[in-house]
Amino acid sequence: MQNQTLKSVVSNLVVEVRKTEGNRTLPGIVSKLTDRSIDKVDLSMFSIEIRHEMLNEMGIQYLRKGMLAEAQKAFVLAEARDGLESVGEEYLRLGLYNKAVEVFKLAGDEVKLRAIGKKALDEGRFYDALEVFKVLNDKESLIELGKKSIEAGKFSLAFEVFSVNSEKELLQNLARKCMEVQEYHVAKEIFKLLSDTNDLNRLGEIFLKNGQIRMAYEMFSTAGNEPMVNFIKGNRLN
């Protein structure tokens, strides 16, 4: 029933919209549409030009009402980059960085994305920075983020960062650091990624000595060390 009523309202607006084509004054018209989700509004009866103008105005009004998700949809449909950037700025103001990144990505605003990433890095919000630098495929900033993650003792994050572009040398250095500080679980993932059989075996021996049989078995299996795999199996250690 509500959908039928809305269709009737929209259909009746066609005449009103056509009357506005000379002066393009649409705010009063679209205000009748923005009390509900844009997904429930059908504008297919309008020309592309008028449809985009209405969608842009709807985006503006959704934004004023704080309906940011609806504003984002409207501006995307209207292909309105400026509107999307306004939504992104509002998400930033609210501290919703992931949503802001998503919107600025849609707007194609690499300058704004880079600024968000740098600010996040400077403020120690490493995961927010990672999301931005991945979107930008900013290799230099990713390396900087990885190094700062190591300094902060965030070894799992550093592994995730260096894995983005498969930075082999940096991953090897990280693995050595992890072995030094006994972050064996991170080292394990690095050795598996790099298919480093020597270090997989070395780590397997450490796990075996520490009584972590399942972990040792995993390392030896991944390294293809059949004698040690058979030793664990034969003695029912696993």
**pLDDT tens digits, one per residue of 8-20:** 555 455 445 545 4
> Distance between CA atoms of 172 and 148, rounded to whole angstroms?
16
At position 125, the amino acid (one-letter code) is R
> Distance between CA atoms of 13 and 50, rounded to whole angstroms?
12
At position 230, the amino acid (one-letter code) is N
pLDDT given at position 71: 96
At position 62, the amino acid (one-letter code) is Y
User: Confidence band (pLDDT; 50, 70, 90) for 22?
Assistant: very low
pLDDT given at position 35: 77
pLDDT given at position 209: 92
Q: Within 13 A of 140's CA, how many CA atoms are on the CB side?
A: 2
Angle, CA 177 vertex, CA 173 and CA 182 arms, to 5° = 145
Contact 110, 126 (CB under 8 A): no
pLDDT given at position 74: 95
The two three-digit tokens of residue 86, written as one number: 């306004």
Angle, CA 90 vertex, CA 84 and CA 95 arms, to 5° = 125
What is the mean predicted confidence (pLDDT) over 144-158? Answer: 96
Contact 61, 27 (CB under 8 A): yes
Rounded mean pLDDT of the chain? Answer: 88
pLDDT given at position 42: 82
Q: Classify the phi-psi angles of 100: left when phi > 0, otherwise alpha if psi is within -120 to 50, otherwise beta.
A: alpha
Residue 138 or 42, more confident = 138
Residue 17: which of 59, 56, 45 has the closest Cα? 45
pLDDT given at position 238: 61
- The H-or-E segment that residue 223 falls in is helix 213-223
pLDDT tens digits, 183-230:
999 999 999 999 999 999 999 999 999 999 999 999 999 999 999 999
Does the pLDDT value for residue 63 go beyond 80?
yes
> Distance between CA atoms of 44 and 54, rounded to whole angstroms?
11
Residue with tokens 């504008």, as numbered in its chain: 43
Residue 150: which of 162, 167, 168 has the closest Cα? 162
Domain boundaries, the chain: 1-91, 195-238
